């Protein structure tokens, strides 16, 4: 047995996960745990009530916990284990906690010139009721609009949104809120999942279109909901709308297009695990609007998420085998598109990816994954 084969046989990798109970139950499924284990990766629960540094060593820490105490624990952990990878940096994650700074990054993106265009909806932030009720604040918007809490920290409160049809509906809003222009988009939202270098695009039912003449006939001033993709199940939405709409017939955005956006967002945000919601403007079929970005979304809703995440862990650990990265953004920098050297790739291929029948470690750049990445 060669030295490399012996290393691959003996070496196992520990990935600690620190997640809220609800997130843990939806993400850490037996199917993921078993697949990762078969490829040499042990997923180990981190107890939030104990000091993180005392629970190591971990090769990698996967987390979605917030607060100053948790940030302190991560800092102590990285000081004690400087070669460990933290996914992702708390400072990078925090940019997504504010719905204004969240979408500002879109203006920083530069992609190849093409027929498709993208942007964000017109939006304003309202900090107090006086501004909320001042019609001069709304000159750039027209009804209907979508109202969202300014803070997007993953709490139940941050998911409470409303489709507002008129000025009377504003009375029910509680500042600070972000008010975003509603854009007709055919009742379909595209959810683009990013896992390191991997990108998958899926489509979901969304808010139905609202024609201008319908505004005078609405029986409510606003319609509250928690998630756009869940609103289709609301009994107040006319089901005939969705019966007429064939979701299967809706064309996905060009994968090369969303891949370029995903790559740009990943670079600017310095994050590995996120998704973004995209709509296609019904007025202009090749113009797309990014309406939301979420850190560490519900990956279990993505078919085959176990393989995607396990391959991603292999990417991270493959890079770590080469010496890792001890910078402040080690979580991001450890899995940017660098290939593994020959020996490290062979070790990780044996340890993480089994034999050839189980698939090989993906080390190609983001754009190379286009053909196999779309999931509908």
Write out the binding residues for Mg(2+).
277, 292, 294
- Does 88 sit behind a cis peptide bond, omega within 30 degrees of 0 on the bond before it? yes
Angstrom distance (rounded) from CA 61 to CA 47? 12
- The H-or-E segment that residue 147 falls in is strand 145-149
Nearest to 258 by CA among 285, 306, 290, 229: 290
d(CA 133, CA 180): 16
Dihedrals phi, psi of 195, to nearest 5 degrees: -130, 90
Best CA proximity match to 56, nearest among 40, 77, 85, 82: 77
Q: Which residues are annotated as a binding site for 1D-myo-inositol 1,3,4-trisphosphate?
A: 23, 64, 159, 191, 294, 298
Annotated binding residues, written as ranges, equal 23, 64, 99, 148, 159, 180-191, 206, 277, 292, 294, 298
Q: Which token pair is 99?
A: 């719905």
What is the SS3 assignment for 124? strand
| Calpha distance 281→294 (Å, rounded) | 21
Closest C-alpha among 370, 372, 375 to residue 359:
372
Binding site for ATP: which residues?
99, 148, 180-191, 206
């Amino acid at each position: 047995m060669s030295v490399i084969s012996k290393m691959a046989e003996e070496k196992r990798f520990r990935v600690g996960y620190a997640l809220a109970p609800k997130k843990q139950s939806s993400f850490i499924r037996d199917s993921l745990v078993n697949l990762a284990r078969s490829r040499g990766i042990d997923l180990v629960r981190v107890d939030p009530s104990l000091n993180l540094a005392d629970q190591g060593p971990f090769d990698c820490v996967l987390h979605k916990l917030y607060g100053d105490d948790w940030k302190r624990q991560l800092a102590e952990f990285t000081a004690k284990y400087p070669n460990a990878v933290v996914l992702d940096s708390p400072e990078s994650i925090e940019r997504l906690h504010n719905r204004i700074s969240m979408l500002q990054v879109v203006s920083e993106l530069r992609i190849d010139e093409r027929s498709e265009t993208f942007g964000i909806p017109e939006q304003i932030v309202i900090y107090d009721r006086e501004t909320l009720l001042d019609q001069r604040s709304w000159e750039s918007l027209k009804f209907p609009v979508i109202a969202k809490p300014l803070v997007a920290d993953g709490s139940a409160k941050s998911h409470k949104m409303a489709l507002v049809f008129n000025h009377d509906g504003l009375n029910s809003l509680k500042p600070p809120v972000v008010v975003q222009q509603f854009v007709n988009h055919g009742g379909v939202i595209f959810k683009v999942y990013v896992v390191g270098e991997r990108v998958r695009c899926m489509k979901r039912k969304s808010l139905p279109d609202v024609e201008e003449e319908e505004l005078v006939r609405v029986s409510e001033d606003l319609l509250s909901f928690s998630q756009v993709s869940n609103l289709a199940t609301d009994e107040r939405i006319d089901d005939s709308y969705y019966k007429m709409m064939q979701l299967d017939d809706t064309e996905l955005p060009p994968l090369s297009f969303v891949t370029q956006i995903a790559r740009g967002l990943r670079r600017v945000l310095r994050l590995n695990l996120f998704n973004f919601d995209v709509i296609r403007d019904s007025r202009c079929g090749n113009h797309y609007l990014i309406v939301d970005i979420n850190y560490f979304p519900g990956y279990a809703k993505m078919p085959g998420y176990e393989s995607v995440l396990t391959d991603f862990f292999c990417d991270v650990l493959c890079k770590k085998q080469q010496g890792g990265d001890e910078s402040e953004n080690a979580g991001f920098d450890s899995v940017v598109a660098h290939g593994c050297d020959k020996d490290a790739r062979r070790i990780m291929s044996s340890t993480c990816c089994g034999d050839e029948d189980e698939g090989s470690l993906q080390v190609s750049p983001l754009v190379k994954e286009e053909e196999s990445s779309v999931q509908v």
